[in-house]
Amino acid sequence: MTKIQLLDSRLANQIAAGEVVERPASVLKELLENALDAGSESISVDVEQGGVKLVRVRDNGSGIGRDDLPLALSRHATSKIRGLDDLEAIGTLGFRGEALAAISSVSRLTLASNVEGEAEGWQVQVEGRDMAPSVTPAGHPRGTTVTMRDLFFNTPARRRFLRTEKTEFNHLEEVFRRIALSEFNTAFRLTHNQKVIHQLPAGLDDTLRAARVAKLCGKGFMEQAIPVDVERDGIRLHGWMGLPTFSRSQADLQYFYVNGRVIRDKVVSHAVRQAYADVLYHGRHPAYVLFLELDPAQVDVNVHPTKHEVRFREQRMVHGFLYSSLHRAIAEVRPGQSLAASVVDEGESVMPAMEPSQASMSLSAPAGRPSYSPPAGSGFSYGQGLRQADAYGALVRSQVAENPGMPPASDQETVPPLGYAVAQLHGIFILAENQQGLVVVDMHAAHERITYERLKQSWSEDKVRSQPLLVPVSLAVSSREADFAEQQPEVFSRLGFMVERAGPETLVVREVPAMLRDSDSEAMVRDVLSDLLAQGSSERIEQKLDELLSSMACHGSVRANRRLTLPEMNALLRDMEATERSGQCNHGRPTWTQMSLKDLDRLFMRGQ
């Protein structure tokens, strides 16, 4: 008797199921992807006992013909690819042809289907050790229904690894949420133990799509989200990214899709983190629902059994596109700008229209105030260094002195987004009135951001200046690192370094960025080398410079308990409206908040 034997079909499929089927949520993912690939316009999911007892998925897609039904439950059988060319440019969610066979080997699975023009449907299930398919007639409309019962009934060891019903359903609902966010043109329905959990109509316009995101991710996210839609060089990025002030303690509200497939990717994660780098509070995570569309041939989705990971063929290009698009979207947010969702829940407005009793309280600029138009430049200059940044009050006073008279208000004057200052509270907060109600500004945090952005702009215009080291620094590196430094000296030159090769595994650092002359030059060069070899780019030097400029801006900004005049406060408000990322200070804290008249009415129980 030979030692090597062929495994029987059921055992082989159960081994394959170990990669594909981890829990009921894994089953739902595969079935939903198949339903979407079939072109379904409506998908209904019924679940019992967290999915362990039952997972049923009904769709109205193209269906499966009688002759194809037995093959549908076979391993390595699929209608989605034919050859190597298809594999190198995959345009479907599923393509391996293993899911149904793996699921049927660890559960009681029935597949019923019907195609266009057929009078009756058919159903198939497998029986016995060899998993022989059995096809019988079944009344079924166009589309497919897959019913999975008693998951892991024949593999009790794996069943013991399942968690409580609530835990398993939470995992299953998260899969449903990811899939429902990936395809807005399809209606979805989810029930658990005969109770409707989600009923999502097809999102055929922006309002319905925003409503779906609000239902699945929460109204708070959509009220604090920036719409994104950028297209360049055949790549498109669209969706919603949360404001830095809508950060999370965990990375639990991050959905990123590549050609409709939800993925986790290091290149994507790094680009997003960099985009939020100096506006997010320490230890917090951004929230986003983003969709990347590019040529399927430029992305390899066949790198992980569960298809959660991808590999981009042009990683640097994708990273640069994502970073620049998201970074610019954050920078362009200004006070008073409309955010993503005007409607978030079946016609309910984020900012409801004012009631008649409130309309009479609408604020307008008092007589004598200038009419407002968005500032074209940066207001007055703070200078390019710490001393100029610290002289904020003097600069404002000189500006006011040079312009003592204010132009008369027009009949149709417009109140600026942050309104006009009315008072200063405890030398810390500026209180202003605008058309919505009350604006409260943390004056130090706001001025810190303004100063920081101007210091960064000044620094970028002057470029990175180098300073020679009195004693060059020698460091031992690998031959690969030494080769890279020798072959690409311009990379280090752009960052302000002069690095020369002094031996097979030795580099000498002769110049460093002038502003970082007191830093550990050896550690910086090693970090830059590591980044360049790993991902083709390095932001270490920029991060160091940003940290230094941020510290300068913090020390050079107006301090608490410093009294400002009304013209000085208004000058600060106007500069906030003209400055990028002015909604957060350098440490990610908010710089201002809005209280609407409705909020104030609620505080004092007016109209109740």
Provide the pLDDT for residue 393.
Answer: 40
Of the listed ranges 128-132, 324-328, 545-549, the one predicted with least confidence: 545-549
Buried b (16+ CB within 10 A) or exposed e, 507-517: bbbebbbebbe
The amino acid occupying position 206 is: D
167-174 contacts at long range (C-beta below 8 A, 24 or more positions apart): 167/50, 168/23, 168/24, 168/25, 168/50, 168/51, 168/52, 169/47, 169/50, 169/51, 171/23, 171/24, 171/25, 172/23, 172/24, 172/25, 172/28, 172/47, 172/50, 172/51, 172/55, 173/197, 174/25
Confidence class for position 17, pLDDT limits 50, 70, 90:
confident
Residue 357 lies in a domain: no
Q: Which of 345, 379, 407 is the last residue before a domain boundary?
A: 345
Provide the pLDDT for residue 453.
Answer: 86
* C-beta atoms surrounding 196 within 10 Å: 9
What percent of the chain lies above the pLDDT cut of 70?
A: 77
- Contact between residue 476 and residue 522 where contact means Cβ atoms under 8 Å apart: no
Is residue 265 domain-shared with residue 326, that is, in the same domain? yes
CATH, residue 309: 3.30.230.10
Which two three-digit tokens encode residue 283? 């230890």
Domain that holds residue 103: 9-200
Residue 154 lies in a domain: yes
The amino acid occupying position 351 is: M
CATH, residue 376: 3.30.1370.100
Is residue 326 domain-shared with residue 260, that is, in the same domain? yes
- Contact between residue 20 and residue 103 where contact means Cβ atoms under 8 Å apart: yes
> What average pLDDT does this structure show over 439-468?
82
Provide the pLDDT for residue 150.
Answer: 95
Residue 3 lies in a domain: no
- Contact between residue 212 and residue 178 where contact means Cβ atoms under 8 Å apart: no
The amino acid occupying position 338 is: S
pLDDT tens track for 331-349: 888 776 655 543 333 333 3
Is residue 429 domain-shared with residue 541, that is, in the same domain? yes
Residue 406 lies in a domain: yes
Of the listed ranges 169-178, 230-239, 413-422, the one predicted with least confidence: 413-422
Is residue 492 domain-shared with residue 545, that is, in the same domain? yes
- Higher-scoring residue by pLDDT: 516, 505: 505
Is residue 210 domain-shared with residue 190, that is, in the same domain? no
The amino acid occupying position 46 is: D
Q: Which whole-number Å values give the CA distances from 496 to 251, 336, 507, 528, 600, in the listed order?
A: 35, 39, 16, 12, 53
Q: Which of 145, 171, 200 is the last residue before a domain boundary?
A: 200
- Higher-scoring residue by pLDDT: 526, 200: 200
| Beta-strand runs (E) in 278-388 | 288-293, 299-300, 311-312, 343-345, 348-349
Confidence class for position 315, pLDDT limits 50, 70, 90:
confident
Residue 24 lies in a domain: yes
Residue 402 has pLDDT above 60, yes or no: no
CATH, residue 130: 3.30.565.10
Rounded CA separation 443/170 (Å): 43
Confidence class for position 225, pLDDT limits 50, 70, 90:
very high
Angle, vertex CA 431, rays to CA 429 and CA 433, nearest 5? 160
Which two three-digit tokens encode residue 431? 């209180």
Of the listed ranges 27-31, 318-322, 551-555, the one predicted with least confidence: 551-555
Is residue 335 domain-shared with residue 426, that is, in the same domain? no
> What average pLDDT does this structure show over 22-40?
94
Is residue 177 domain-shared with residue 229, that is, in the same domain? no
pLDDT tens track for 261-290: 898 888 899 899 989 987 887 788 999 999
Residue 39 has pLDDT above 50, yes or no: yes
Q: What is the pTM of this model?
A: 0.72
Q: Which of 138, 166, 200 is the last residue before a domain boundary?
A: 200
Is residue 330 domain-shared with residue 465, that is, in the same domain? no
Structure letter (DSSP) for residue 515 = G
Residue 531 lies in a domain: yes
- Higher-scoring residue by pLDDT: 360, 98: 98
Rounded CA separation 330/227 (Å): 10
What percent of the chain lies above the pLDDT cut of 90?
A: 43
Number of structural domains the chain divides into: 3
- Higher-scoring residue by pLDDT: 441, 80: 441
Residues 6+ apart with CB under 8 A from 250: 285
Strand partners, 226: 241
Sheet holding 261-262, edge to edge: 225-232, 235-242, 288-293, 254-258, 261-262
Is residue 371 domain-shared with residue 495, that is, in the same domain? yes
Confidence class for position 311, pLDDT limits 50, 70, 90:
confident
Residue 265 lies in a domain: yes
Residue 8 has pLDDT above 60, yes or no: yes
Confidence class for position 181, pLDDT limits 50, 70, 90:
very high
pLDDT tens track for 133-151: 899 999 999 999 999 999 9
Residue 350 lies in a domain: no
Task: Please give the mean pLDDT across all residues of the chain.
Answer: 80
Is residue 510 domain-shared with residue 404, that is, in the same domain? yes
- Contact between residue 459 and residue 549 where contact means Cβ atoms under 8 Å apart: yes
Provide the pLDDT for residue 597.
Answer: 92
Is residue 78 domain-shared with residue 218, that is, in the same domain? no
Is residue 325 domain-shared with residue 270, that is, in the same domain? yes
Query: Which phi-psi region, left, alpha or beta, contains residue 462 (left: φ > 0; alpha: ψ -120 to 50)?
Result: alpha
Three-class SS string for 5-37? CCCCHHHHHHHHHHHHCCCHHHHHHHHHHHHHH
